[in-house]
Chain A
Amino acid sequence: MSDFAQHLINGVAAGTIYALVALGYTMVYGVLKLINFAHGDVMMVGTFLGYGVAQKLGYEHQSSLWGVLAIFLAAMAACAVMGFLMERFAYRPLRDKPRLTALITAIGISFTLSYGFQLDFGPLPGAAPRAFPEIIAPREWLIIGDRAVVIWNWQVISLAIAIGLMLILQALVYRTRFGRAMRAVSFDHRTAALMGIPVDRIIALTFMLGSALAAGAGILYAIKDTAIQPLMGLYVGLKAFVAAVIGGIGNVPGAVVGGLLLGLVEEFVVGYSSSSWRDAVAFGFLIVVLLVRPGGLFGRVAAEKV
């Protein structure tokens, strides 16, 4: 029983990270219908930036409240700028071109970032993993029994941030002018432009928001798993994408639910079946969900107008 509870906690913790990364995927997809393949790598870059800032701050300051805020804000701001540049120079010129084109560009950016960060000259970090500093000092939040089940403070913090972000994003999308404009652009950006919506600005802002989210998610991920390395974006990005699709890509609560579900499914496969089939089961779960609900759990397949 206690290990069931522990698995549950592990699964939620892992799912939280998937959910956070999936949120960024889903935002960008919602507006541009673009699978931003480089999203995971933006996350990786953000994490390395956070790491750099933490190193600069030094051991004393990095775990103070201001230090943590500085790390998060610096990484998120830098990634927002990066997202803006990516959108401006790599995606915007292709907006009216076939969607696959932008996907290939995204793949190109992904390769450049992930392999580029494996280089070991100049300021680039090299391929070796780095230990991410404990900017949130790990503390047991809840202990049940003789350490049979342990919940850590950062697990609670991450989950709270994920759910908080989901609510904020949901409110942003459905309660603000910006959100209304986003939905309009998502529906049909040409018509939206005719209605006087500044389409370029909305898309750029969405991209910046998504990239900043990725950076935040990356740092939380680094706090959870304590190590960072250049290819991390590839794996987490793929899983998060799967999570977003399970939830119904383009749907904000769907991303969070999808992420949590995926985390739990993986966890329980390992816990009660064989760990070597974990990835197969994760993808199998995705396929089953899609075959039963072709638009994901919360998504709807738009009926084609005939």
Chain B
Amino acid sequence: MRSALAAVLTSCALALVGCEKKASAPPPPSAPSGGTAAAPSGGTPGVTGDTILLGEVGSLTGSEATFGISTRNAIELAIREVNAAGGVKGKKIEIRVYDNQSKPEEAAQAANRLINQDNVLLILGEVASSNSMAMAEKAQPAKVPMISNASTNPKVTEIGDYIFRVCFIDPFQGYVMAKFAHDNLKLTKVAVLRDLGSAYSQGLADVFERKFTEMGGKIVARETYTKGSTDFRSQLTAIKRASPDAIYIPGYNDIGLIARQARELGVTAKLMGGDGWDSEKLFELGGSAIEGSYFSNHYSPDDPNPRIQKFIADYKAAFGSVPDSLAALGYDAAMVAVDAIKRAPSFDRAAIRDAIAQTKNFPGVTGTITLDDKRNATKPAVVLEVGKGKTKYVATIAP
């Protein structure tokens, strides 16, 4: 009796996985020419009679779920728009999204599944650089194009010629804020508070420290916090002791809490950060404490550009919240992909790759995107000042 139960459970689990393998190993019935897992370039994988299948991997659960969910929403929005406008080359676009629990091994597994089981045409994602790299390590050997929406570490696209991104890389964004702090704000003493568990935060902070010191500024305090912590008073008290002019905090939603606690402790230094700040949560969590701070971003929400205003309005209408920078990047990644599929002479993955590589002056929400020969997006950054419930454009800094 007991053994029977155990056996049933085991076989259920095995059968579920097993049957999927069998189901998808033969070519989909409606596919014009069968593309199997082993020979991705043999046909036109991901493209059936009337649909094009794209894949996305994101952190839908786990410590980075916020970013994964807004990215997924934005990509969904983009696909919906494209399909509403008649799709691409007469075909509708479908997207399959897998969760990676914010872990690289799960990201690699999901990418593997998209490539080999679902036969997607190309892959979108991820936010965290380590997850993107894990996916890229699977996409590159299989020669499946991949566009990362928000992985800023330079190493990501170095993995191979099929890997692209639509966001800044850390060296650029770190430089932007260092330059702004030094040239525009004329600051000399800055403290850095970084998230030890986030490669993004580490990358930006490293570059900022280096550039700012090169420009003649001084880093007076270096503090860290760990992902998930909500009490930053100890770090802030230590920073207060060094009495800096400003604190550079490349983080995400933590910034709201940090700002509040800084003001509570009587820290009056200006706060500065990167595009991770861009979220409606900034105002909700930061309240009045965050006003007067600066951060670098891809675009300014008060930019009258209709493209940007339309995206913000549509996103709000669809998901009931203001898009954050990751959503904007997700939207752009999807749109760059669609644009490349349109331009490519065939649905062949190699052709798509070439088309993506040739992306030039693409009008995205996050700026005019041109992919350079290192497959990174080059676009100017803007610096925004946080006001009451909205941000204000301050400066544009070119690469």
Chain A residues within 8 Å of B, Cβ to Cβ: 3, 6-7, 10-11, 13-14, 115, 118, 120, 126-131, 138, 147-148, 150, 152, 221, 224-227, 231-232, 234-235, 266-267, 270-272, 274-276, 278-279
Contacts and interface: CB of A to CB of B under 8 A. Distances in A.
A7 B223 CA distance: 15
B234 A150 contact: no
A77 to B, nearest CB: 25
Contacts of B264: 138, 150, 152
B235 A275 contact: yes
A276 B60 CA distance: 28
9 contacts: A6-B240, A10-B231, A14-B234, A127-B61, A232-B228, A266-B234, A275-B223, A275-B234, A279-B226
A221 B229 CA distance: 12
Nearest to A111: B61
Contact of B237 (A130, A271, A279): A271
Interface in B208-241: 223-226, 228-231, 233-235, 237-238, 240-241
B65 A270 contact: no
B266 A278 contact: no
B352 interface: no
Contact of B260 (A226, A266, A271): A226
Contacts of A276: 196, 224
Contacts of B265: 6, 150
Contacts, number: 98
Contact of B65 (A6, A10, A118, A272): A118
B196 A118 contact: no
Interface string B249-287: 000010011001100111000000000000001001101
A130 B234 contact: no
**Interface extent on B, as a size class?**
35 or more
B69 interface: yes
A3 B237 CA distance: 7
Given A115-B61, A231-B63, A235-B228, A10 B69 contact: no
A133 to B, nearest CB: 11
A238 B347 CA distance: 51
Contacts of A279: 226
Given A3-B240, A138-B264, A275-B238, A127 B66 contact: yes
Contacts of A152: 264
Contacts of A115: 61
B234 A10 contact: yes
A152 B260 CA distance: 13
A150 B262 CA distance: 12
B320 to A, nearest CB: 10
Interface in B49-68: 60-63, 65-66, 68
Contacts of A131: 256, 281, 284-285, 287
Contacts of A225: 230-231, 257, 261
A10 B233 contact: yes
Nearest to A148: B266
B233 A13 contact: yes
Nearest to B101: A115
A126 B235 CA distance: 29
Contacts of B233: 10, 13-14, 267
B206 to A, nearest CB: 14
Contacts of A271: 234, 237-238
B7 to A, nearest CB: 21
Contacts of A148: 266
Contacts of A267: 233-234
Q: Which 4 A-B pairs have the closest CB atoms?
A: A127-B65, A270-B234, A147-B266, A225-B230
Interface in B62-80: 62-63, 65-66, 68-69
B244 to A, nearest CB: 14
Contacts of A234: 228
Contacts of B284: 130-131
Contacts of A270: 223, 234-235, 238
Contacts of B230: 221, 225, 227, 232
B238 A231 contact: no
A232 B253 CA distance: 14
A115 B102 CA distance: 12
Nearest to A143: B266
Contacts of B69: 120, 126-128
Contacts of B229: 235
A148 B66 CA distance: 36
B225 A275 contact: yes
A14 B231 contact: yes
B65 A226 contact: no
Contacts of A6: 237, 240, 265
A148 B240 CA distance: 9
Among B225, B237, B265, residue most surrounded by chain A Cβ atoms (within 10 Å): B237
Contacts of B60: 118
